[in-house]
Each structure stands twice: as structure tokens, then as C-alpha cells.
């Protein structure tokens, strides 16, 4: 897969974290994050997805999309937990 420019990856991460962004914007940003996997921004993208999935400020759609992307990127919940521990993500 062709890597995306770092600035674009950082923009997607920022949009997903932005509490003022609409659900549509957050869903689109989340759907782009798989393109960040394997880049230096991967850990930040995973942290953001985890944060959004846990956040009560996120809509159910955005939380579910984040969980789906995490599962596709890392696998089962146990594998996500291993990734979090290995990368010191709380």
C-alpha cells in the first residue's frame, strides 16, 4: 500500500479527536486511518482510535467505526490489549 503524506495522516488523527467535528467528518477521518498503519504515526492513530472508542463524547457510530478499524488493524481484543501493553498505551 502506498504511504500517505505525514501531514495528511496527522490531519485525519486531529479531525477524529476534535470534539467539535461532526460525526460525518469523524467517520471519514476514521475510515482513512488504516492507511496510516505501518507509518510513524501508527501509534498515535491507534491511541486516538482507542480514545475515541472509549469516549462518551463520541457517538455510537464513531465508537463502533473506531472499534472496527482497531479490530481490522490489530485483531482480537486480546491482541489489541497486547499492542497497548507493548506500546505503553493506557
- Kindly report, residue by residue over 57-77, the tens digit of the pLDDT: 899 999 999 999 999 999 999
Three-state DSSP class for 58?
coil
* Count of CA atoms in the C-beta half-sphere (13 A) of 82: 7
pTM: 0.89
Confidence grade of residue 27 (pLDDT, cut at 50, 70, 90): very high
- ∠ CA 63-71-31, nearest 5°, is 55
Do residues 67 and 32 lie in contact, with contact meaning Cβ atoms separated by under 8 Å?
Answer: no
Amino acid at each position: 500500500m502506498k504511504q500517505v503524506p505525514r501531514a495528511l495522516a496527522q490531519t485525519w488523527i486531529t479531525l477524529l479527536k476534535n470534539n467539535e467535528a461532526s460525526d460525518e467528518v469523524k467517520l471519514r477521518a476514521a475510515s482513512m486511518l488504516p492507511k496510516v498503519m505501518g507509518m510513524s504515526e501508527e501509534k498515535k492513530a491507534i491511541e486516538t482510535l482507542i480514545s475515541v472508542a472509549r469516549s462518551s463524547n463520541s457517538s455510537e457510530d464513531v465508537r463502533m467505526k473506531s472499534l472496527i478499524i482497531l479490530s481490522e488493524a490489530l485483531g482480537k481484543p486480546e491482541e489489541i490489549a497486547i499492542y497497548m501493553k507493548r506500546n505503553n498505551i493506557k
